[in-house]
Amino acid sequence: MLQIHQIKENIYCFRGLDRTHFDFHGSVFKTTDGASYMAYLVIDKEITLIDTMDEALTEEFKVEVLKVLNGRKIDNIIINHVEPDHSFAYEDIKDMFPEAKTYCSKLAAKALKNMFFKEHTYTEVDSLETINTGKYNFTFALTPFIHWPDNMITYLGEEKILFSNDAFGSLVTGDALYDDEYDYDKDLFRHCKEYYANIVMPCSKFVAKRLPEILGLNLPIEMVCPSHGIIWRKDIIKIITQYLKWANFEEIKDKVVIVYDTIWDSTHKVAKEIASGLEEKGIEVSLYRAKTARPSEVITDIMDAKAVLIGSSNFNNTMVPTIADILERMIALKPQGKIGMSFGSFGWVNTHLKRIDTRLEEAGINVIEAPHYENFRPDEKDREFAKAVGENLAKRILEK
């Protein structure tokens, strides 16, 4: 479904709502409510399209753009970012309006050629370069690694609008377009947090550096128009402040995330005892079995935890594959400022937990304890020991 919203007298938002596909940004990020994709059309002496549309909504997008154009043509296409959820429709739009000029970063121009195998003339722009379309001026700011190297944002000064592409996006797929139509704490920030954790978190050091630089330009902003989720107009400073907190990992709590998987239930028993030791000492615990958990939710939970515990049975000579999945995500998404340890059971060899520790270290986790092994099923004494592991960890967390 494609919504069209007139957000200003001369500006239209095309908001594609895809509530039937739960793969987001490719195939590794599973959402619960689908996803939304936004592109913008600015009518002036020259008409400018900012970003395009995901594959699933491209045909509808083309039809609706033509309706809004009402016989006019697109003169300029601004590609803030080349990832296909924003650029898939670019080639079709370019075929429809071959005279349109394309503005993008240097790296985006290179990537577009590699993606579409067609030679177009791209106007490569740099930070603070401006184009004029009549009464409007569009100013660009490169934002490399927020979250791909090619990313940039575009500012429309006359309307005080920032077109931020992936930045400040969210997983909201409700019918309403604006932030003030949602409950910030119940809906918006929950969806934004999951989006940040799974898309933006690995770029946190760039966010922490680049965002204050952009804010330092003191541009008046009345609307932030991302390419996912909703438009921010009510409390823009709140979402910007929240981004800075996430980027600097300022919201880490006395919380432990335990992710385990189990073959014959022994590692599950150990996980429950460790969790019980932590909880009895007042630590918040999230306990996930990797086989049934949604990895994107687990990663979101890890973002503000103080410790991550990874448990696995021994699977011949390595960890259970679902645990490898979570660890590879952690390596890719780089949660910071956490301690961690591994635990689990084995029958005849116990090499798997050392492999887990190595991957935890690759993910930037400070591994603080030797792996906690159980040989076959934990008996009563083993269970007491596992509970004590949780209690000791709780003490350490509360002392930090």
Q: C-beta of 19: minimal distance to ligand FEO in Å?
A: 17
Q: How far apart are CA 178 and CA 222, in angstroms?
A: 12
Given 46, 166, 261, 301, the catalytic residue? 166
Q: C-beta of 242: minimal distance to ligand FEO in Å?
A: 19
Closest to ligand FEO by CB, 108 vs 308, is: 108
Both tokens assigned to 46: 């020259």
Closest to ligand FEO by CB, 143 vs 227, is: 227
3-class SS of residue 105: coil
Maximum separation of any 2 CA atoms in the chain, in Å: 79
Given 37, 44, 81, 155, the catalytic residue? 81
**For residue 273, what is the enclosing H or E element?**
helix 266-280
55 in active site: no
Q: C-beta of 24: minimal distance to ligand FEO in Å?
A: 8
Given 86, 147, 352, 372, the catalytic residue? 147
Q: Check: CB of residue 352 under 8 Å from CB of residue 319.
A: yes
Given 44, 46, 83, 187, the catalytic residue? 83
Q: C-beta of 147: minimal distance to ligand FEO in Å?
A: 6
Closest to ligand FEO by CB, 58 vs 262, is: 58
166 in active site: yes
DSSP string spanning 355-383?
Answer: HHHHHHHHTT-EE-S--EEEESS--HHHH
Residue 165, strand partner residues? 226
Q: How far apart are CA 273 and CA 93, in angstroms?
A: 58
Q: C-beta of 78: minimal distance to ligand FEO in Å?
A: 15
Closest to ligand FEO by CB, 160 vs 205, is: 205
To the nearest 10 degrees (0 to 180), the angle between helices 204-215 and 236-247 is 140
Contacting residues toward ligand FEO, per CB under 6 A: 25, 81, 83, 85-86, 147-148, 166, 227-228
Given 195, 196, 243, 288, the catalytic residue? 195
Strand 130-132, strand 122-124: pairing = unpaired
Q: Annotated active-site positions, please?
A: 25, 81, 83, 85, 147, 166, 195, 228
